[in-house]
Chain A
Amino acid sequence: MSVRARLADRRIAVCVGPGGVGKTTTAAALALARAVEGGRALVCTIDPARRLANALGLTALGNVEARIPAARLEAAGLRPKGELWAMMLDVKRTWDDLVSRNAPDPARRDRILGNRLYQQMSSALAGSQEYMAMEKLHELAVERDYDLIVLDTPPTAHALDFLDAPNRILDFLGNDAARAFLAPAMGAGRFGLRLAQLSGAYAARLLARFTGQQALADLGEFLQNFQGMYDGFKKRAAAVRALLGRPEVGFVLVTAPNELALAEVLAFHDRLAADRMPVAGLVVNRLTPDLWTDEGPLPAPAELAALLPGTPARVPDRLPALLAAVLAEHQDLVRGERAALAPVLTRVVGACAMVPRLETDVHDLAGLARLSAWL
């Protein structure tokens, strides 16, 4: 069964995998395929390559979905029965929306949005992108009626970061040790350190030397303003987590046939299984096509020389040896890839799409359509 077929009864597809394996392209191709078949499909990408973004018309977009004009699809030779929508996640704006929804009053909202540390954190804190990608997915799943939402996920240093990000960020926002450390700033409105609790002036001297007093003051103010909103955030994160375990969701593991990428995808697969998250399938991009399905040994140069067009006398000397060498190298690569893939294929449940290395980068709608035929 194809990955597309496995996704036919799902409303949400989450593409996960290491960076540089064609995750964004795969996500876009899956959405396009559903649109062509007659559904309303949305692809939500994080950081698409410029030419793919142009192809999807994403350049002018903010944090909202936009429909790819039917004329643009028709110009690429496609006759979609449904609609293709696309959006690019704006991490900062998603944070701002979340804060605005949870703030008890406008004054508190403005104090948080204006806090320097918050501004830095909402765009730069590790895990922030992953957290907001899930937050946005929840909003889209609950408030819109797409037949299929395909979420592209940010490349993580470690694949598991994606699932852990919300907890890590929540731990950051609700860290009691830090709140205690910065407590005097909260009550008095003036900044100071509760030195007695932490071996006195050493801590103050050292931290302030690194950060300056202002950064610590910003942090204290931020934590103070955030108190009380924490429970709302926590409930929301739990809801997002619950959504990801529902049967209408399908995780799509995207990888390339090299050891590093495969090890990462396998770790992710095992983690999804342990957390009872539904895996829809595996997409292996950039596979080298097997050209020697024969059981027999690879040809020697002399064998090829005898078969080359033209009389043997006119065949240049180097050609048979080169052809034999190129085929042997090619098949070495094939064997290596298959060997690296074998343990993954026996473990992964669900559909499996083997996509051959395409001859050029996929960067337009026609290219996406060709790719989707393999999925």
Chain B
Amino acid sequence: MWTCHPPLASLSSLVADPTLLDRHLVFVAGKGGAGKSTVTAALALLAARAGKRVLVCEVNAPQPRIAALLGAEVVGSAATRPAIHVLNVQPAEAMHEYGLMVLRFKAVTHAVFENRLIRYFLRAIPSLAELVVLGKILHEARSRGPQGPRWDLVLVDAPATGHAVQLLRVPSALLDAVPAGPLRHDAEWMERLLVDPVQTAVALVTLPEETPVNEALELDAQVRGVLGMSRAGLFVNAVPASRLSPAEVAALAGARDAPPPLGPAVRAAALASIRAEEARRHLARLRAALDLPTTLLPLLPSVGWGPPQVEAIADAMARAWRGDEEAA
């Protein structure tokens, strides 16, 4: 599929362990509600600040969110802000596009792919939707302009855990099932690009809570085992700041029921401390099980999410990475 261009040469293959933003294609994956879209948007901001041309792909999102998080202008299923292009990859559109590339003529494509029927087959044939969506993303990742690769970085806001694995394993499943031919040829280059540790990686996103941590551990095992893909790092969202030490909170216990303002302040401190302790416990569990560069992102005291919050998260990421360098 999408074989119009030669595969991108691995120019950077001399780099032993590329950092996340040096990769060419990064899938951001994790449990639903763990903050994948926020992490994806913040990574896009950091890459753009570093002068990279970035494409952000959402996968068949019923309500696309990345453009709003970046404050980007939306045109149809695409949106732009300087240096960042956002795309909501939808199966029916991707299939039309593929049809155009093979058939070359718009009129013929429409005649062949009457919309209702396309949608029908996309639903009916197992993995067809995943195949065209992943094909579109990988095609973008290796498409070239006059001066080299069209995008320096392609970021994918992947679907929730199980669906992400389903999406990423389509090429290898095809390799198991399909005899030699054009489809097999497509599956081969797709799989090569996915498992290339220099170009491509998965970034895991989770929260410091029971179920999200369990799911992150399961996803990590699948990325290594089932998919054989490289992992670029772990992002833990909404980590509560540790303000008062447990000892300080304990020393104040007697004042919990004091009248305002002391009582409420002590109760707020106690609640914050409990949350921080819980988070620490789950972080310890993650760190014991996963040997991955880990970026902790702060819990922002905010309910709404938009460009200012994403900027704040991007700043926190940059600070965390600088801190790592200083420590090393």
A residues near B, CB below 8 A?
18-20, 49-51, 117, 120-121, 124-126, 155, 157-158, 172, 175, 177-178, 181, 198-199, 202-203, 206-207, 209-212, 215-216, 219, 257-260, 289, 291-292, 294, 298-299, 303-304, 307-309, 316, 319, 322-327, 329-333, 336-337, 339-340, 359-361, 363
> Does B121 lie within 8 Å of A207, measured CB to CB?
yes
Given contacts A20-B32, A177-B116, A327-B264, 5 further A-B contacts (CB under 8 A): A20-B33, A117-B124, A178-B117, A211-B128, A337-B303
Interface segment out of the listed B137-145, B188-196, B223-231, B267-275: B267-275
CA distance A360 to B305 in the complex (A): 25
B102 CB-CB contact with A under 8 Å: yes
Interface flags, B98-133, vs A, CB<8A=1, else 0: 010011000010011110110011011110100110
Measured between beta carbons, the chain B residues less than 8 angstroms from A207 are 121
Q: B295 → chain A, closest Cβ, in Å?
A: 22
Instruction: Report the minimum CB–CB distance from A202 to chain B (whole Å).
Output: 5
- What residues of chain A lie closer than 8 Å to B258, measured between beta carbons? 307
Q: Which of B62, B131, B182, B262 contacts A304 (CB 8 A)?
A: B262
* Known contacts A177-B116, A177-B120, A326-B243: A299-B303 contact under CB 8 Å: no
- A211 to B272 CA separation, bound complex (whole angstroms): 54
Measured in the bound complex, the distance between the Cα atoms of B31 and A28 in whole Å is 22
- Asked if A303 contacts B124 (CB within 8 A), the reply is no
Q: Is the interface of A mostly helix, strand, loop or mixed?
A: helix
Does any Cβ of A come within 8 Å of B304's Cβ? Answer: yes
Q: Judge whether B183 is part of the interface by a CB distance below 8 angstroms.
A: yes
Question: Quick one: which of B116, B210, B272 contacts A330, CB cutoff 8 A?
Answer: B272
Q: Measured between C-beta atoms, what is the minimum distance from B215 to chain A in Å?
A: 10
**23 A-B contacts (beta carbon < 8 Å):** A49-B210, A124-B126, A177-B116, A177-B117, A178-B117, A198-B112, A199-B108, A199-B111, A212-B178, A259-B304, A289-B271, A299-B261, A309-B252, A319-B244, A322-B269, A323-B265, A324-B265, A326-B244, A326-B269, A326-B272, A329-B268, A360-B278, A363-B210
Contact between B305 and A299, CB atoms less than 8 A apart: no
A323 to B258, CA, bound (A): 14
Check: B63 CB closer than 8 A to any chain A CB: yes
Q: Contacts A19-B32, A157-B62 hold; do A361 and B211 have CB atoms under 8 A apart?
A: yes
Q: Are A303 and B261 in contact (CB under 8 A)?
A: yes
- Asked whether A330 and B268 contact (CB < 8 A) given A178-B117, A259-B304, the answer is yes
**Residues of B close to A219: CB separation below 8 A:** 124-125
Compute how far the CA of A233 lies from the CA of B244 in the bound complex, rounded to whole angstroms: 61
Q: Which of B126, B132, B255 contacts A120 (CB 8 A)?
A: B126
Which residues in B have their C-beta under 8 angstroms from that of A337?
Answer: 303
Q: Is the Cβ of A333 less than 8 Å from the Cβ of B301?
A: yes
| B301 CB to nearest chain A CB (Å) | 4
Q: How far is the CB of B306 from chain A (nearest CB, A)?
A: 10
Inter-chain contacts of A18 with B (CB < 8 A): 33
Instruction: Point out the residues of chain A lying under 8 angstroms from B210, CB to CB.
Output: 49, 51, 361, 363
Cα of A1 to Cα of B21 in the assembled complex, Å: 54
Known: A291-B267, A327-B268. A259 touches B125 (CB 8 A): no
Which of chain B's residues has its CB closest to A331's CB? B268
Q: Is the CB of B304 within 8 A of A340?
A: yes
The answer to whether A307 and B128 touch across the interface, beta carbons within 8 angstroms, is no
Q: Is residue B266 within 8 Å, beta carbon to beta carbon, of the partner chain?
A: yes
CB <8 Å contact, B128 and A309: no
- Give the residue among A20, A124, A319, A323 with the most B Cβ atoms within 10 A: A323
| Contact of B254 with A by CB under 8 A | yes
Q: Please determine whether B124 and A202 come into contact, CB atoms closer than 8 angstroms.
A: no
Contact across chains for B62 and A327 when beta carbons are under 8 A apart:
no
Given the complex, which residues of A lie within 8 Å of B123, measured CB to CB? Answer: 125-126, 172
In the bound complex, CA of A126 to CA of B128 (Å)? 13
- Give the complex CA separation of A199 and B248 in angstroms: 77
Chain A nearest Cβ from B167, distance in angstroms: 13
Q: A49, A215, A308: which contacts B211 (Cβ < 8 A)? A: A49
A230 to chain B minimum Cβ distance, whole angstroms, is: 15
Establish whether residues A319 and B303, one from each chain, have CB atoms under 8 Å apart when the complex forms.
no
A197 to chain B, nearest CB (A): 10
Name, among B126, B128, B214, B252, the residue most crowded by chain A CB atoms within 10 Å (CB to CB).
B126
**What CA separation (Å) do A203 and B211 show in the bound complex?**
45
For residue A257, which residues in chain B have a CB less than 8 angstroms away from its CB? 303
If A172-B120, A304-B261 touch, does A325 touch B303 (CB 8 Å cutoff)?
A: no
**Does the CB pair B112–A319 fall under 8 Å?**
no
Q: Are B302 and A336 in contact, with the CB atoms below 8 A? A: yes
